[in-house]
Every structure is written in structure tokens, then in C-alpha cells.
Amino acid sequence: MRDLNATLIQCELAWEQPEDNRRQIGDVIAGLENRSDLIVLPEMFTTGFSMNAIGNAEQPGGATQQWLQKLAVAYDCAITGSIAVHGDGGVYNRMLFATPDEVHYYDKRHLFRMAGEHKRYLPGGERVIVKWRDWRILLQVCYDLRFPVFSRNRKDYDLALYVANWPSLRRLHWRQLLVARAIENQACVIGVNRIGSDARGLDYSGDSLAVSADGNLLADLENRSGGVAVQLDAAALQAYRESFPCHLDADDFQVE
């Protein structure tokens, strides 16, 4: 297992304007100075957190998925974020994880009922872990962060990714839960949120973070727009797990 270079992209999102959002994010990525193994975008990065599910949804393998994979090929990296995608007679809030060779996906399991997401989108059922450059990576979306059982490390991942549109009203929860997920799971955590305001008048403070397995902040974008690079230290992760092996005393259980 080698070190993983990751880039967090935090930006404002144009409401329900996929082409504009792809263009502005593409410009940010083109301007990055450092090579990256992994680029992380916010939740619903093409539209903002819209409940116009049918109107915004793309077909599987549609324009945004193709765009992501072209970027993955061009920059020899993985790139991930979520969009609305048609499937099973409805729409999923689907996190795409594109590499130069393939696209994995995770459908958001916990739908944010306070915004009516559970009425407009279908819930995913499967926990998804992908392997990329020797790292085992758990894919999660926004509200999933509040449910530690679902993201419990069963000795099966090294990095958890949370992509979000998390309002500034609850920024304290976002920041503290990201750190908590890292500490309790002895895994690195990256959470990427948006900034600015959406069409519903909700404000977003960003606070995109990268957290080491012992809970230390490796990167904090606060309310800044743009990208920040972080190196995840594979040897340090392994050494920490070996020096403080609390996972050996974890309770065994299953998620239904």
C-alpha cells in the first residue's frame, strides 16, 4: 500500500445547470498544480441539491459519467461525486467513482427526509467499497454521515469518502461527525461539501475536510473556493492501527 494523493474540490454550484457546473469544475481541475490519484467533488455537483429528480436525472452512462471518465483518463486518476441518475423506475442520488478503466457507483442509502428526498429518490441498499491504487475506499453521500452503523469499518476499508450538500446551519455536525467517523473506524476520511447559496435560499459553508485515522485535520478548506491537495500516508495509517488496535475488540454485527 502506497501513499494516496487526493484533491478536494469545493465550489459554488449553478442551480440545475449541468453544463455550467461541469465547465467550472473542469476549469478548477485544469488549474491544479499537483498530480492527484483521487479528485473528490460535492454531492449533486451538476445541479445542486434539487428535488426535481425526474427533470435533472441522467441516464446511466450519460453525459456526466462520460465526462468524469474522460477526466480520469486525461489526468490518470479517479474522480468521484454524485448526480441524479434514472434507474429501476425512479431516480437515484448516485455517487459515481470513475477511473480510466471503469466506473463504479454507490446509490445513497439514507435519504434526507427533512427536504423530502425520500419522496423523490429511491434508496440504495448496498454498501460499496472500491479498490483504487491499493486503497480500499468506502463511498458515502451526505446524510449517510449521521449513521455510524452503516459506515462501520469491518476491517474492509482504509478511506471513507463523504460527498455532500450540507447546509451551514449544521456545519458543527458536519465537521465533528467527519472527525468521529475517522477516529471510531481507524480510517482516513475525506468530506467534500459545496459553498454559496442555492435556489431555495440555503447557505453552505463548505468546511471540506481531510482527516487522518487518529482524528487530526490534514486539510480544511473552510469557506474557500477551489481545490486543495492532501497526501494520505499509508505507513502512518498502518502504524497507528498496529499501535492502538481497538478494532480487535469491536462488536460483531450485520446491517439489514
DSSP assignment letter at 220? E
Residue with cell 463548505: 206
Give the confidence band of 256 by pLDDT, cuts at 50, 70, 90. Answer: confident
Strands of 38-40's sheet in order across:
103-107, 90-98, 78-87, 38-40, 4-10, 226-232
pLDDT in tens, 25-54: 999 999 998 899 999 999 999 999 999 999
Query: Does residue 108 carry a catalytic annotation?
Result: yes
Cβ(211)–Cβ(218) below 8 Å: yes
Query: Does residue 43 carry a catalytic annotation?
Result: yes
Non-local CB neighbours of 196 within 8 Å, separated by 6+ positions = 11, 12, 13, 203, 204
Cβ(29)–Cβ(226) below 8 Å: no
Q: What is residue 180's three-state secondary structure?
A: helix
Residue with cell 459553498: 195
pLDDT over threshold 80, residue 95: yes
pLDDT in tens, 66-79: 999 999 999 999 99
Please identify which of the residues 11, 77, 142, 188 carries the catalytic annotation.
142
Q: Quote the CA–CA distance of 159 and 190 in Å, as a whole number.
A: 8
Domains defined for the chain, CATH in brackets: 4-246 (3.60.110.10)
Please identify which of the residues 77, 108, 117, 188 carries the catalytic annotation.
108
The per-residue pLDDT for 34 is 86
pLDDT in tens, 133-182: 999 999 999 999 999 999 999 999 999 999 999 999 999 999 999 999 99
Average pLDDT, the chain: 97
pLDDT over threshold 80, residue 255: no
**C-alpha of 232 from chain center:** 16
User: How many C-beta atoms surround the C-beta of residue 100 within 10 A?
Assistant: 14
Q: What is residue 211's three-state secondary structure?
A: strand
The per-residue pLDDT for 73 is 98
The per-residue pLDDT for 32 is 94
pLDDT over threshold 80, residue 220: yes
Query: Does residue 246 carry a catalytic annotation?
Result: no
